[in-house]
Chains A and B, each alone.
Chain A
């Protein structure tokens, strides 16, 4: 009886702590909060040493705590994307931003531009300040992207959708269905294209397109009708009759609130923005959106199967991200110099204690959270029949695992006289 599989009982919020914690996957929200904390921290500095530390922290946590599901492998893609961003930034500085800075490294032949494009220089002198500026900028953006990537590879996107508040359930359900339908559509295009060769694949261009699109669309339509009927028969959309006015109010509240949150975030993150645009707008918008969600959620009668719960490990993870961000903000108030290393004059970036501690706080989840379950499918309790493991054709599982009495389907056929000659 593992503690994390039991439903929470009234009167006891969390199961007894055990160490090391039993393997389980963390609430996806916790990973997202953690990653956003790191990303916010990264947005407050251009110090390459700090940024590299944040990257290292994110990568280390991902390597230690990701599962073996398909999305867990996406982290590499985000790293590649980050590298691409840096390269592009530096390349742009070389192409367009020539001439700023005194430490000229080398000179490229300048391409003369017509009068109309005065103020833009192509190539020319390339200065160290210019390259470093591009590199710092790119590295900051890349770090933020990689932080988001870390969240993506640590948190199951579907469980994240399940954790949405009740009022957004329909949106979540549509996304889940769309995710399931996409591979079916691809499969159906492939099937029809293959089938077209059977008719000699006559006609190219528009005619061929029509030959593919019509059967595929017909298939997709039939399938979505069947799915809609199946979902309705299973109770999807049992609203209990919410009147249209409530729905309208809910919608307006949520949208207005979210706009407020966006504006507020901008205010908080951009140090130059007026103070009113910051925290007050953020909090106000959040409150309005929350009201909308609560109002909308009231009409929903639905429960979740094996819901993710917030336990100490989740709080710790989210807290680690929040600490990193908060300490970085603190530093920005006290000791901003080392966060934005000077470009003119050129100077080596330096580290001070608080930002380093801030970033190191982000690595705690790598040690203090439970390990993820390593296999997507739990191990099979009973050994399968020998023939079961290698189901051919890809599309089907082991036929032998059916267990019931009929498993000896071909046993008798083997007994038939095997005759390789066709019967005349």
Chain B
């Protein structure tokens, strides 16, 4: 269906190759997962399928890409509309009309499909994706998962034989992601559509993939079944990592595979206390000086830093946050979870003081950040918003750092020093917008930490980060907490929560519905349980690192298993 013949691509004539000598043949009806670290050329590969690369991105493409026998070199992307359907990470950015039904029809109108046929296909697609009840709704009023399904539907109506999905579930909560993926699976099974999907959160897709395209980063593409490639693939979901530390072969690809294999492991781990779930290796060089610590003695772990009482946020007549009480303690990482729109962001903004708050009080270091001037508020509570790049507006990283020192009244170079600890090796002359997602996040975090707030709030920080970047970021978060801060992370990423958070707060409809230690909250929920917990259930183990350390300790001691740890 799709063939790449010796395809090479570089953005600049003498720049590094994004793709180098790629030969691929993807047969009809396969679900093909494209994976690799950020910046290894996944999006380039996907864009080349219908000719958006190089026609929309610029750059030099050599070799030949064909879809159903038609080459992209001679035809513009428009002429592939009936063959290739493409859906991006942010569905809103690709919507042309403003209501569901017209969006579904748009592609067909361009292809001059007869009105009767259009009408029929719209109805079929509404049913196929389970969005019939949304037909007259405005696109902007839909939730993320619904928008993503409408976006998929809007390309399906043209009956393409190839579907290209670039990070379709990155921004979605676990439940919405499952809805989208089950819709995609249905297409593969029922309609024989060939699907090419790139996804950072491999754990969501890997088990369904017929084929894996792994981009190691040198421009080449390794092609094979997941079982063939997984043993030495640098990016791997937790279930595969668990298989590696447990020494299983072949590696399990799904929770079900692993669970059937895990009886022995469960037995070995019963009666053992799981250690800390955080990764042991910390990529950030340990520092004698704590990172941007508030002045004075660090507060003892557990000492309350922030107390919020009856915080309520409303937009018009909608109640986003309803009388929420929250206490944050020093040295603690709290994860704030809940489906899209459950009030997580509203709560963070209200607590920080920059967002609207209808009623309620927040107390940090003897003051309410909502009543204080912005500069004082940020010295008490720091917030990294969902679109972190909103805070960056200068030409170079150095300028941003200097500006930040000036804003915070900190000594010259403090922001830069922080940045070097969080993400070493960012050139001072580079433009902030050219940095990778992870580097941008580190820069914004450094800017906010320069004001030395004791409480740090992070809104969806792991969106767009690959496994390695997430691991490094997790280490940074642990370090912030170890220095006596309280960190809150609003996120959908259950694996990240399992590895980093001490405590999980679950919100629904603007209220807190669960609040407790991470293992207690996540292990009992089907939607929020990390893969390792599902495999080892009912044991409260959360991450492959935890299991790996326990097994390594076994090997070292080569002695009868320890018994002092009681099961929690």
Contact = CB atoms under 8 A, between A and B. Distances in A.
Interface in A378-410: 378, 380-382, 384, 387, 390-399, 401-410
B96 A230 contact: yes
Contacts of B403: 202
Interface size grouping (class) on chain A: 35 or more
Contacts of A117: none
Interface stretch (B224-232, B279-287, B389-397, B545-553): B389-397
A197 B524 CA distance: 39
Interface of A: 7, 158, 173, 176-177, 180, 183-184, 191-192, 194-202, 210-212, 214-215, 218, 222-223, 225-238, 301-307, 376-378, 380-382, 384, 387, 390-399, 401-424
Contacts of B5: none
B315 A381 contact: no
16 contacts: A7-B115, A180-B97, A198-B448, A200-B374, A211-B393, A228-B56, A230-B86, A232-B78, A238-B79, A305-B108, A392-B509, A393-B346, A396-B142, A399-B145, A410-B506, A410-B508
Nearest to A192: B390
A235 B107 contact: yes
Contact of A393 (B142, B155, B318): B318
A399 B115 CA distance: 32
B410 to A, nearest CB: 12
A393 B389 CA distance: 22
B116 interface: yes
Given A377-B137, A419-B516, A215 B393 contact: yes
A413 B341 contact: no
B394 to A, nearest CB: 8
A397 B143 contact: yes
A413 B133 contact: no
Given A302-B112, A406-B175, A419-B516, A392 B318 contact: yes
Interface stretch (B98-106, B213-221, B260-268, B472-480): B98-106
Q: Provide the main secondary structure of the chain B interface.
A: mixed
B94 A227 contact: yes
A237 B143 contact: no
Going nearest first, the 3 A-B pairs with the smallest beta carbon separation are: A235-B81, A230-B94, A305-B105
A365 to B, nearest CB: 25
A403 B96 CA distance: 26
Nearest to B315: A394
A232 B52 contact: yes
Contact of B110 (A235, A406, A410): A235
B52 to A, nearest CB: 5
Contacts of B392: 215
A306 B175 CA distance: 34
Contacts of B377: 197
Contacts of B179: 402, 404, 406
Given A392-B343, A417-B516, A7 B146 contact: no
Given A234-B155, A303-B113, A394-B315, A416 B146 contact: no
B206 to A, nearest CB: 18
B356 to A, nearest CB: 9
Contacts of B144: 396
B96 A227 contact: yes
Given A234-B107, A412-B527, A413-B506, A305 B118 contact: yes
